[in-house]
Structure 1
Amino acid sequence: MKTTLFALLFLMCTVSFAQKTDSLKLDFQGELRARYEHSNGQFRAGKSGSDQLLLFRTLLHFRYGSKKVKVGLELQDSRTYLGDGNSPVSSSFTNVADILQGYVEVKTKPLLRKEGEATLKLGRQTVSVGSKRQIERVSYANVIKAYTGGHYLEQNHKKDELHVFYVVPIDRLPKEKSQVLGNEFMWDREMWNQHIWAVHYRNHRPFTDRGPKWAEAFVYGFDEQDTFRKSSSNRFYVTTGLRLQEPIKENRFNYDVEFAYRCGSRQAENDFIDGAPLAVSAHMLLFRAGYTFSLPLKVNVAFQHYVASGDKDPSGDEFQQFERLFGGRRTDLNNTSIHGPLTPSNLSATGLRVELLPEARWDARVHYSYANLASATDAFIIGKYQDTSGASGRFLGHTLDSRVRFWNQKKTWTLDFGASLFILGSYTRAVRVNENETRNIAHGYLQVIKKI
């Protein structure tokens, strides 16, 4: 916390030295959000019975400075109510009155093209790039992830983007379940033993107007080490990937294809006594292709296949699970929070999605997935089950997720509600044979957002 406060003082002093020819301006944005969720059962290990949660999140974002130098401060207050011992709450649900962002943003000279413009952002900040599958400022989760470090962004007249950043993640506190349920206050802090770096280039319309809108190439690095007080898996990952995307447009085909391969090393256990490291070899693939029909509701129908590798031999000398580190999952897979059985790790999910995008103040989405484990011997990540023998098979089940949103003309109010159904498959029923709950899981939520 001291680091953040000193950084904020430095940032404020920096703005005071902004060029006198630039007028100083204060900008403010904020958001109030309330959401109620209910599930009729549980699919996680050791959980039973129905569950409910009432969540509140407040964001206040101040930006002060000139055209060349700005200081930003964003406050986050996230609280939950109605939860109990069976609620799968964690530090991603509660974060009382903390600093989400505290940064200085400086206009600087571009590295690639003279006609472009570039900014360097230093301090505590949120990061979202491209599809947000590799790193994201989460929107649906009640607590947003933040990082401390530097983020360089360059853009040119063609809308190409170059992102280069080096950051450490923020450890969201508190972590104890009783403290989370009690909405206890505790300052977040930097995780100095973890380092994230990336180079991500986004090329806008690289070929012709009929080609993809975006072609992207990226390299992400992640390095983690033990500290004096805390052990770790000593993960060292390098993830490289490509993406091609053509967004939804009436009477046109749309697609989104992203592939990433990860290599590196890690320890098998989170322990101070390190053994021989495991070689890492993992991958993910998202393939989505659809067509938008010229109908009053502007209907888009798309096929989707999502694969994130799993560990084929948990006792072997290679780690093959594609861990979800800092990217999102709700947009591609399912409604999350106390639900969300699918995550892009040890997953093979094939399905269909239908989106309604009328020229009006509402939209809707329905998504079906036939979900399997990528490896029968690796873990069902969200459910926290694992059958290392593989005898339970791979079929997780059928998932059906929906969302409908309404907003006013100025988009200052948004009403968002949705429902999900998880029909348990042969694997999920087999590993839950001794559990009280083996029925299918229905989930629903209602959310109201007010921009201020």
Structure 2
Amino acid sequence: MKLLCVCFLACVAAFNAGADEPFRLETALDTPDWLTLEGDTRIRYETLDGQFRAGRTGSDQIIALRSLLLAEADTGPVSFGIELQDARTYLGDSGTPLSTSIANPLDILQLYARFDDLPGLLGENSVSSLKLGRQTIAIGSKRQIERQSYANVIKPFTGAYLLSTNPRGDEFHLFYVSPLSLFPSGRPALDDNDLSGDEEQWGRRIWGAHYRRADVLPTAAPGLTAELFVYGLEERDTSDVQTPDRSYVSPGARLYRAPEVGQWDVDIEGALRKGTRYASSNPADTQSLNVNAEMLFAAAGYTWDAPWQPRLSLEYYYASGDDDPNDFNFDQHERLFGGRRSDLNNTSIYGPLTPANISSPGFRITVKPNGRWDGWVKYQAAHLASATDEWVVARLRDPSGQSGDFIGHAIDSRIRYWVIPDSVRFEFGGSALFYGEFAKNVPGGPAGDRSLYGFAEITVDF
């Protein structure tokens, strides 16, 4: 609660600081040059009308509050950092889908030592930094691994992360980490915002190598970057954590050109996944399944040189599904540690779509009237990639495939406004899922014809 009080006072100070200059905790406390002190606090109200998840009905609401506070001491060759996270919820009830992605009361998000100015791996004048300890990781599009932004809880890892860069903008990422079990993890402790320390899952290891090449076609397509990567997951059961004993390797690639006024942009990313796993985390389940899965995201857009800088993009997200639950293959592309909000939908107590068993074409319209306002609205025709596999978030499945594959028409939107530039930002938006044949016909499917979601939040950076 002390962290909450500090962040609340920072919020009040920010509003009193005036719109010309953002409030910064470092300035207010007159910290020495070697000490970085920063954070943010965010409060969001969410409402859901029409529950789509199996076994749940009616409406829902929640207040999600998250505060972050980072302190980093730069001693020269090495920097030491600690970041605290306090993520709490209010107004939820027994029907609220609370989980460790929504609530994680006060705990240590990061605790690390970072060695800077190490020899680089990308040729002349390149440099590297090595981060050791508990930390968050976000690379590239964040579809493979991310530091969560919209989710109320940011999930950390413990291990080693090397980043090498050079003056032309190339990057090479290399990491080997273990995720954490977040606590509390069950009801009613989650409802009560009980304090309980998070613990490393030493039986699970995530590794990755990710290379980004800047401006690969400087004449034909200025600003186009290319990425090559490979990610892996190895896990085994421990006395504290039971797993499906997954052993995955996921190679992939990405081409990306950022949106700019008066030009086309592109974002194409694909990855394969090979390996083995058991069907479940049950220790009695010892039948090994072959894993063959894949994902693809493709988007192409154009930004007009006109008032509000309108941009239109066509988008498609595909993540494979498992056609036959009774064979010895597992072909569903599971979402592991990457993001989904930017590409698919608003999440938290909503979030019906995830990059697993999905085939979803659509379009997005983005506007930016000025430096303070921006927003977007997007539409998707959400299908199951395999009609016999699960609608993953809803936990609904028709193994016969007779319910069809069309989940429904999905609409999402977001508007942001800087009340005080770089200090106080207001954001609100809404989503709608109008049920298609699968949602209406699947056994145990949702009642009604649609699910509606709305949110409003304010964030204060300090």
- TM class by shorter-chain length? over 0.9
- Aligned-pair distance for 1:204? 0.7
Q: Which has the higher contact order (CA 8 A, sep 6+)?
A: 2
Q: For 1:405 and 1:209, how far apart are their aligned partners in 2?
A: 35
Q: Confirm or deny that 1:354 pairs with 2:365.
A: yes
Instruction: Specify which of 73, 84, 88 is matched with residue 82 of structure 2.
Output: 73
Q: Look up the SS of the partner of 2:441 in the other structure.
A: helix
Report matched runs for 1:377-392 at 5 Å: 377-392=388-403
2:73 alignment partner, one of 60, 64, 87: 64
Q: Counterparts of 1:125-136 in structure 2 under 5 Å?
A: 125-136=135-146
Cα distance change of structure 1 residues 24 and 407 upon mapping to structure 2, 3 Å threshold: closer
CA drift at 1:58: 0.5
1:118 and 2:128 matched:
yes
Q: Name which of 276, 279, 292 aligns with 1:281.
A: 292
Does the aligned pair in 2 maintain the 1:24–1:66 contact within 8 Å? Answer: no
Offset from partner CA, 1:123-174 (integer Å, 9 cap, x none): 0000000000000000111110100000000000001000000000011111
Indicate if the aligned counterparts of 2:255 and 2:269 stay in contact, CA closer than 8 A: yes
CA spacing shift, 1:284–1:61, aligned 2, 3 Å: same
Instruction: Find the aligned partners of 2:224 and 2:459 in 1 and give their Cα distance.
Output: 31
CA distance in 2, matches of 1:385, 1:185: 33
State the 1:410 CA deviation: 3.0
Aligned residue identity for 1:46: G
State the 1:209 CA deviation: 4.8
Partner in structure 2 of residue 12 of structure 1: none
Q: Which of 103, 106, 115 is the aligned partner of 1:97?
A: 106
- Which has the higher mean CA deviation after the structures are superposed, 315-324 or 224-233? 224-233
Which residue does the alignment assign to 2:199? 189
- 1:176: Cα distance to partner? 0.6
Q: 1:163 aligns with which of 173, 178, 184?
A: 173
Contact preservation (8 Å) 1:38, 1:445: yes
Residue 47 of structure 1, aligned match among 31, 43, 56: 56
CA contact (8 A) 2:312 2:363 kept: yes
Distance 1:271 1:442 in 2: 35
Deviations 1:69-106 (A, max 9, x none): 10010000010000011111101111111000000000
1:221 aligns with 2:211: no
| 403-412 vs 197-206, greater mean Cα deviation | 403-412
2:224 and 2:256 in contact (8 A); partners too? yes
Matched AA of 1:449? T
* Aligned pair partner of 1:173 in 180, 183, 192: 183
Distance in 2 (CA, whole Å) between partners of 1:67 and 1:356 is: 43
Residues 409 and 33 (structure 1), Cα distance of their counterparts in 2 relative to 1, 3 Å cut: closer
Answer yes or no: is the 8 Å Cα contact 2:248–2:275 preserved in 1: yes
Secondary structure at the aligned position of 1:158 is classed as coil
User: For 1:445, which of 455, 458, 461 is the aligned residue?
Assistant: 455
Aligned 8 A contact 2:372 2:421 in 1: no
The letter of the residue matching 2:265 is N
Structure 1 distance, partners of 2:209, 2:127, is 17
> Are 2:442 and 1:431 equivalent residues in the alignment?
yes
> SS in structure 2 opposite 1:75?
strand
Aligned partner of 1:238 in structure 2 is 249
Distance 1:439 1:411 in 2: 41
Name the aligned partner's letter for residue 108 of structure 2: I
1:5 is matched with: none
CA distance in 2: counterparts of 1:294 and 1:307, whole angstroms:
31
CA contact (8 A) 1:245 1:257 kept: yes
Contact 1:249 1:292 in 2 (8 A): yes
Give the alignment partner of residue 32 of structure 1, picking from 41, 44, 51.
Answer: 41
Secondary structure of the structure 1 residue equivalent to 2:188: helix
Answer whether contact 1:24 1:64 (CA < 8 A) is retained: no
Per the alignment, in what secondary structure is the counterpart of residue 177 of structure 1?
Answer: coil
State whether residues 163 and 200 of structure 1, in contact with CA within 8 Å, keep that contact through their aligned partners in structure 2: yes
Deviates more, 1:224-233 or 1:366-375: 224-233
Q: Is the 8 A contact 2:46 2:61 kept in 1?
A: yes
Distance 2:421 2:367 in 1: 20
| Paired residues of 1:432 and 1:438 also in contact (CA < 8 A) | no
Partner of 1:374: 385
Would you say 1:260 and 2:271 are equivalent positions?
yes
Distance 1:300 1:152, change over 3 A: same
Shift of the 229–413 alpha-carbon distance from structure 1 to 2, 3 Å rule, reads: closer
Distance 1:209 1:99, change over 3 A: farther
Runs of 4+ in 1 over 4 A off after TM superposition: 432-435
Residue type matched to 1:184 in 2?
Answer: D
The Cα shift of 1:24 comes to 6.8
1:334 paired to 2:345:
yes
The aligned counterpart of 2:261 is 250
Change in 2 beyond 3 A, CA 1:252/1:434: closer
8 Å CA contact retained: 2:252, 2:271:
yes
What SS does structure 1 have at the residue aligned with 2:134?
Answer: strand
Q: What letter is aligned with 1:101? A: Q
CA RMSD of aligned residues (A): 1.3
Q: Equivalents in 2 of 1:42, 1:274: separation in Å?
A: 32
Aligned match for 2:163, one of 135, 147, 153: 153
1 CA distance for matches of 2:51 and 2:450?
A: 9
Per the alignment, residue 405 of structure 2 pairs with: 394
What is the identity, as a one-letter code, of the residue corresponding to 2:142? Answer: K
Structure 2, unmatched stretches of 5+, are 1-31
With the length of structure 2 as denominator, give the TM-score of the two structures. Answer: 0.91
| Amino acid corresponding to residue 235 of structure 1 in structure 2 | R
How much does 1:433 deviate? 5.6
Could you report, residue by residue, the CA deviation over 1:346-401 in whole angstroms, capped at 9, with x for unpaired residues? 00001010000233211000010000000011110110111111111100000000
**Distance in 2 separating the partners of 1:387 and 1:33:** 40
Instruction: Give the corresponding residue for 2:29.
Output: none
Q: Work out the CA distance in 1 between the residues paired with 2:73 and 2:241.
A: 38
> In the aligned structure 1, how far is the partner of 2:192 from the partner of 2:419?
35
- Counterpart selection for 2:319 from 282, 302, 308: 308
Calculate percent identity across the aligned residue pairs.
Answer: 43
Q: Secondary structure at the match of 1:429?
A: helix
Instruction: Find the aligned partners of 1:434 and 1:127 in 2 and give their Cα distance.
Output: 37
* Cα distance in 1, alignment partners of residues 266 and 33 from structure 2: 43
Which position in structure 2 is the counterpart of 1:296?
307
